[in-house]
Amino acid sequence: MRSGIQVTRIAGALGAEVRGVDLARPLPPGVADELRRAWLEHLVLFFRDQDLTPDQYMAFARSWGTPVEYPFVRGIEGFPEIIEVKKLEHETVNFGGIWHTDTAYLEVPPMASMLLARELPPYGGDTEFANLYLAYDSLSDGLKKTLEGLRAVNSSARADVTRTREDRIKSDGRPTEKKELNAEHPVVRTHPETGKKALYVNVAHTARFVGWSEEESRPLLEYLFRHQVRPEFTCRFAWQPGSIALWDNRCALHNPVNDYHGHRRLMHRITLAGDKPR
């Protein structure tokens, strides 16, 4: 890149590591545009050694979009848009520990999410990401035609994902914690910036197709859930203190790997306002 920033791809499907930028300072002219182009190309960007205060972290987030609050867990003191994504030593279930896009049960899900690593276990705790463009593109023409025009019901009350929130709702829950949130979205979403089509369902939130029963929907949804996380569609990121991941919530799934029982992991998450899926 002209600015001297280095962007290195980490896998064939998605993901790139960015070096040569200090996110504690305002981005120089032109750099934000370069990073945006790289992000749209790679779907998730990773930054190392970013020892940011909450103020600096929020400033970086605001340079990218508009931070929004998470509906189930309150933010840290003084920063309602920054939530702690944590698993404590005695806990066995990790927050959001299932393949998903963030809050697909909202009428307007986030454009993007970012995580900043604060405390990490001595091993494990990686995060996987999957490319939903590739998931859609690799479907047969016949299945693409079947999915065309279909909409799906996404719910915050799906059993597997509610279990991953239980510990945090007990310790950091918001007044809306018991409220069930539901939204209908197209199964195939067109990205508003790239114009590409993405397979916009996920095992954590998608309950059924609109106009179909859950029983009728289950076989096809289960196939799509398996298909979209095929290894060749994914990358995996090993965290270090001060690492940041910034991913496009409109076209990428993520899954935090729960392989560090007995150890503490603490991340700070910010989500950025998006648009209604179309």
Q: Which residues are catalytic?
A: 100, 102, 254, 269
Residue with tokens 């992991």: 265
Instruction: Output 19-23 pairs: Cβ under 8 A, ≥24 positions apart.
Output: 19/48, 21/47, 22/50, 23/47, 23/50, 23/52, 23/56, 23/60, 23/244
DSSP code, position 267: E
Sign of CA dihedral 132, 138, 139, 142: positive
Which among 228, 273, 258, 236 has a CA at the least distance from the CA of 85? 258
Q: 240 and 48 in contact (C-beta within 8 Å)?
A: yes
Which among 46, 83, 123 has a CA at the least distance from the CA of 267? 83
Using alpha carbons, list the distances in angstroms from residue 40 to 31, 32, 56, 230: 14, 12, 23, 21
- φ/ψ (deg, to 5) at 262: 90, 0
